[in-house]
């Protein structure tokens, strides 16, 4: 069965510092992979997605993620964090043919220090 | 509409009552999903509608949960005889249903069963 693991429940970084959020997945086929962000009281916003092609994908708000098949990972990165990036981040794998039925990781809550 | 609309945004109900949650997807989106977000279980898939096909109900936690989608557009999630463990945020999402496009999520309905 498919699963997604986000090893870090909480991460705190200083504003302007770089960020990497880890995501590991288990899925028997070529995965559709997604990162979503959720601000307090809000729904989920798609940051970026991968399903083929270049393994380094660019998303909105300056985020990028790299798909590494050998490590079953899809880590999210940002070179310089802004205070407005404080939120919860979810990694997900799409498990149906259309890749949109999502299995989510447990989420990583990001706090940004001034 | 411009986004996925869910109503009500908040619902408090007494244990044992039935509730209906509504989702109005983005116009033209053929796929519609319901997810549940709770403290103990994280984000869970509930049910998936794609066009005129029979829905995938594999995520529904019990037979007290049901959903329908009328005219390929608006969907209603019904929970009968609500229990306290049903308290959660219920999120609706829609997409074009094509490979790996990613879902657009609504802001959710926060259900509290007292």
Number of CB atoms found within 10 A of residue B97's CB? 21
Whose CA is closest to B91, among A28, A44, A5, A46?
A44
Between A and B, how many CB-CB pairs are < 8 A? Answer: 69
Domain assignment of residue B23, given as a range: 5-97+106-113
Low-confidence residues of chain B, pLDDT below 50? none
pLDDT at A52: 83
Q: Do B42 and A42 touch (CB under 8 A)?
A: no
pLDDT at A100: 75
Find chain B residues with C-beta within 8 A of A106's C-beta. Answer: 42
Interface test with A, best of B37, B43, B50 (most A CBs within 10 A): B43
Rounded to whole angstroms, the Cα distance separating B6 from B23 reads 5
Rounded to whole angstroms, the Cα distance separating B110 from B114 reads 13
At A30-59, the pLDDT tens digits run: 789 999 999 987 889 999 999 888 899 999
The CATH code of the domain that includes B70 is: 2.60.40.10
pLDDT at A53: 85
Q: Compute the nearest-CA separation of A1 from chain B (Å).
A: 14
Cβ contact B25:B92 at 8 Å: yes
Long-range contacts of B52-58 (CB under 8 A, 24+ apart): B56/A96, B56/A101
Rg of the Cα trace of chain A?
13
Find chain B residues with C-beta within 8 A of A46's C-beta. Answer: 102-104
Cβ contact B104:B2 at 8 Å: no
Specify the number of domains making up chain B: 1
The listed CATH number (3.10.129.10, 2.60.40.10, 3.40.30.10, 2.20.25.90) that belongs to domain A3-113: 2.60.40.10
Averaged pLDDT, A21-34: 89
């Amino acid at each position: 069965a498919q699963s997604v693991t986000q090893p870090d429940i909480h991460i705190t970084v200083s504003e302007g510092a770089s960020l990497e959020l880890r995501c590991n997945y288990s899925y028997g086929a070529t995965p559709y992979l997604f990162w979503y962000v959720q601000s307090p009281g809000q729904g989920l916003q798609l940051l970026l997605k991968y399903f083929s092609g270049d393994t380094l994908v660019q998303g909105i708000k300056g985020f990028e993620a790299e798909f590494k098949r050998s490590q079953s990972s899809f880590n999210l990165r940002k070179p310089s964090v802004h205070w407005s990036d404080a939120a919860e981040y979810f990694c997900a794998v799409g498990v149906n043919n259309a890749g949109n039925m999502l299995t989510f990781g447990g989420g990583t809550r990001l706090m940004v220090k001034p | 509409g411009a986004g996925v609309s869910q109503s009500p945004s908040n619902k408090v109900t007494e244990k044992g009552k039935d509730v209906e949650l509504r989702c109005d997807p983005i116009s033209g989106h053929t796929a519609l999903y319901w997810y549940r977000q709770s403290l103990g279980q994280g984000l869970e898939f509930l049910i998936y509608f794609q066009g005129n096909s029979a829905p995938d109900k594999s995520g529904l936690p019990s037979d007290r949960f049901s959903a329908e989608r009328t005219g390929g557009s608006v969907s209603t999630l019904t929970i009968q005889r609500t229990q306290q463990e049903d308290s959660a945020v219920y999120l609706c999402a829609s997409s074009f249903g094509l490979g790996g496009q990613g879902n657009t999520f609504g802001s959710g309905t926060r259900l509290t069963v007292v």
